[in-house]
Structure 1
Amino acid sequence: MSETRIRDRAVIIDQGFGVVQRWGIRLVVIAAALYVLGWAVGHTWVIWFPVALAILFATVLGPPAKALRDRGVPAAAAAGLVLLAFLAALGFLFSILIPQLIDEAPQIADRAAKGVGEVQEWLLNGPLPVESNQISNALDSIEDWLRNSAGDISSGVLSTIGVATNVVVNTVLVLILTFLFIKDGHRFLPFVERLGGHRVGGHLRELLYRAWNTLGGFIRTQALVSLIDAVLIGTALLVVGQPLWVPLALITFIGGFIPIIGAFASGAIAVLVTLVTNSPRDAVIVLIVIVAVQQLEGNVLSPMLQGKSMNLHPAVVLMAVTAGGSMFGITGAFLAVPVTATVAEILRYANERIDAALTAGGDPVALTSTTPASDPPDDPDPGTGRPL
């Protein structure tokens, strides 16, 4: 008869504390590394900001440039043509729409503040009066913020970009980097793989390829979905006779690049301004249209156009936007989701390698992927269909 071995409780507790200690040290090291990384990025943001913008532009302009290269157009000429078309579109935007938004931004803010006041008055003295001090104080705070910033919004739109000299320098730098990324970006992945070798370079290439596809899919899809939202909501504003329908539609388009929060904020502004300039009936119509458009976006447009390329839970998106906006303002809120999606794609790839190793009983670092190991060094565009 075999004896049952009884382990001492102190040994089990000591082993548990040992696991906690090891993971605690790992978490401290990871937190310290992230802090150092954030400190370094913050102090060199003047360099990374134009690079980030150039990469975002390149994700949109890369596919048409590749289509031109596939038709025999030289890489430099294809990049130049696509960039010139992009600049023409931006020129139209900044020469016609942006000045109108800047001129009418204070008026929009002032009328939105009046709309908040009317909502508060209706809640307090309407058919179903609300006697909550918290709701009243919250609405008072929103109204005061809108009124206080009404005179500063037009200048704030430009001051968030920087002084005139920095704007010129950053614009030139972003354009040059965008041109180079479009022209030579497709050579980067083969170079990374050759530099890192098959064992490491293959993983770097796969990660960068997936991150690029995720980032490009997000930017292109958000631009298209935001454009559709702006057109539909702008049309509704025009139909009800909203005099500020052009800047409100532009605010809707810009807000679409900040998921969840941007759509909610731009929709609320449109409803409040319509409540003041038109009538409660028109405001209700605009509200119904905005809710219908948001449902169309969430249930039809985004799943159909974007598929599962992002694969992020709405709670993760909301937390990322909130954290990015709190730390880096509007720029952080705009870049939060692309950065989070890229990090999530890296984690998914690491999880795939671990699962493959557990299934095959092999090395998780060994590369088994659909990405070719290398491309001919003399072929500038190996025809893999990758933007980089």
Structure 2
Amino acid sequence: MNEETTQGRDRGSVYAVHLRSSAVVAVQFVAVAAALWVLAWVVGETWVILLPVLLALIACTVLWPPVRWLRSKGLPPAAAVMATLLLAVLVVAGVIAAVAPAVVEQSTELAQQASAGVVKVRDWLGGPPLNISQSQLDSAVSAITDRLNSSGAQIATGVFTGVGAATSALVTVFTAIVVTFFFLKDGPRFLPWLRRHVGRPAGPHLAGVSERVWSTLGGFIRTQAVVSLIDAVLIGIGLVIVGVPLAYALAIITFIGGFVPIVGAFVAGGLSVLIALVSNGPVDALIVLGIIVAVQQLEGNVLQPWLQSKSMNLHAVIVLLAVTLGASTFGVIGAFLAVPVAAAAAEIIRYYGEHVSGLTGEDDDGPDPESGPESDPESESGAEPDNEDDADAAAEVP
């Protein structure tokens, strides 16, 4: 009967059904796109508030283990958090105090070597095969000077903008520290509060997603810190052996750049090679380049797969696109936050996929297209499924 009915339909009715389905999908897509646009607008407008919160969450993933250990020893929550924060501030201040004198001392020498390099470039331009005359070089320098003088107002505006940005950064850091304190102190109460006030059926799902995102984010930050530390130590030792100025500062930059995958390593490595080229010459620069390439190969082929395994389950292309989008939208801080945000989003999508698989009775990898009714365990046992019970089970949210 169904076959006859299907054969009796004309093309116009089939086209109309398909068009209506396409229209419904298109309207749903537009609605979702509009909702995402509104969400992006809200994030942009409240970024000054969201940024300290995000930084505090990342800091909490690193500081929570010592806080938890101190609380397990009987220390009050506020005292445990305060002791951990003070220790973290002392560590950061100690690193800066240890590196700053070397940076100040070697930066003067590096500036002198850069000036000598400029003189060498001028002599090279004046010699064969270019044979640029001194008058032409003076004319080019004069043009650059005039351009800088005419842009004085813009440069001054940029300086004031930089001062304002530095002030905003200090406010953001202070706010993030305060938020971190309260997150570490009252964090364990958040999930029960969320589950209780949201209610069923969304409350348990929000709590479950939050736990998995927190676990993934903490594992990523701690693992990336270990990988970045190993990179910084190995590259720093190589720079010290070669005799590159600012080796300790470059090692710290390498450690910080490790938290921005792909792009951070490229920028930190390029800076090290550039300083080696200016200070020591092309041979040492090539040696430094070889050291950086070897360490990056060790990281990409051994450390990352071994330490992170498949916990992140993010393709390199997704990581690169996330870093590019974050950097183009929010600058350096966006590049830093891109991978943690992408990891959290991937975990949310993974949780949703597992929930859908549970409702449909499928495996995590999806149904086997080659399996038929013969592979159904209930069919093999001869038991008939109860449609009403299955419908009730599917309607319940686990």
User: TM-score scaled by structure 1?
Assistant: 0.76
Aligned to 1:13: 15
2:220 equivalent to 1:189: no
Aligned to 2:89: 87
Could you say what secondary structure the match of 2:236 adopts? helix
Rounded to whole Å, the distance in 2 between the matches of 1:5 and 1:89 is 75
**How far does residue 253 in structure 1 lie from its aligned partner after superposition?**
1.3
**Pairing partner for 1:29 from 23, 28, 31:** 31
1:30 maps to a residue whose letter is V
Rounded to whole Å, the distance in 1 between the matches of 2:343 and 2:225 is 16
Overall identity of the aligned pairs, in %: 46
Higher RCO, Cα 8 Å, sep 6+: 1
1:353–1:364: 8 Å Cα contact kept in structure 2?
no
Assess, with a 3 A threshold, how the Cα gap between structure 1 residues 99 and 308 changes in structure 2: closer, same or farther. Answer: farther
Assess, with a 3 A threshold, how the Cα gap between structure 1 residues 288 and 160 changes in structure 2: closer, same or farther. Answer: farther
CA RMSD in angstroms, aligned pairs only: 3.3
**How far does residue 72 in structure 1 lie from its aligned partner after superposition?**
2.0
Aligned to 2:229: 227
2:60–2:183: 8 Å Cα contact kept in structure 1?
yes
Whichever structure has more helix as a proportion of its residues is 2
**1:198-277 matched pairs, under 5 angstroms:** 198-277=200-279
Aligned to 1:163: 166
1:54–1:178: 8 Å Cα contact kept in structure 2?
yes
Of stretches 5-14 and 251-260 in structure 1, the one that deviates more from structure 2 is 5-14
2:245–2:276: 8 Å Cα contact kept in structure 1?
no
2:47 maps to a residue whose letter is W
1:215–1:338: 8 Å Cα contact kept in structure 2?
yes
Rounded to whole Å, the distance in 1 between the matches of 2:110 and 2:24 is 58
2:44 maps to a residue whose letter is G
Rounded to whole Å, the distance in 2 between the matches of 1:46 and 1:21 is 39
Deviations 1:302-332 (A, max 9, x none): 2222222211100000000001101111011
> How many residues in Structure 1 have an aligned counterpart in Structure 2?
330
Report the structure number with the largest CA radius of gyration.
2
**How far does residue 233 in structure 1 lie from its aligned partner after superposition?**
0.5
1:282 maps to a residue whose letter is D
Aligned to 1:336: 338
2:175 maps to a residue whose letter is L
Deviations 1:21-78 (A, max 9, x none): 2222222112211111111121111111111111111111011111221222221121
User: TM-score scaled by structure 2?
Assistant: 0.74
Aligned to 1:366: 397
Aligned to 1:352: 354
Could you say what secondary structure the match of 1:366 adopts? coil
Could you say what secondary structure the match of 1:73 adopts? coil
2:326 maps to a residue whose letter is G
Following TM superposition, the consecutive aligned residue runs of length 4 or more in structure 1 with deviations greater than 4 angstroms are 1-4, 98-108
Rounded to whole Å, the distance in 2 between the matches of 1:226 and 1:262 is 10
1:356–1:364: 8 Å Cα contact kept in structure 2?
no
Assess, with a 3 A threshold, how the Cα gap between structure 1 residues 365 and 253 changes in structure 2: closer, same or farther. Answer: farther
2:328 equivalent to 1:297: no
Assess, with a 3 A threshold, how the Cα gap between structure 1 residues 58 and 17 changes in structure 2: closer, same or farther. Answer: same
Give the unaligned 5+ runs of structure 1.
126-143, 368-388
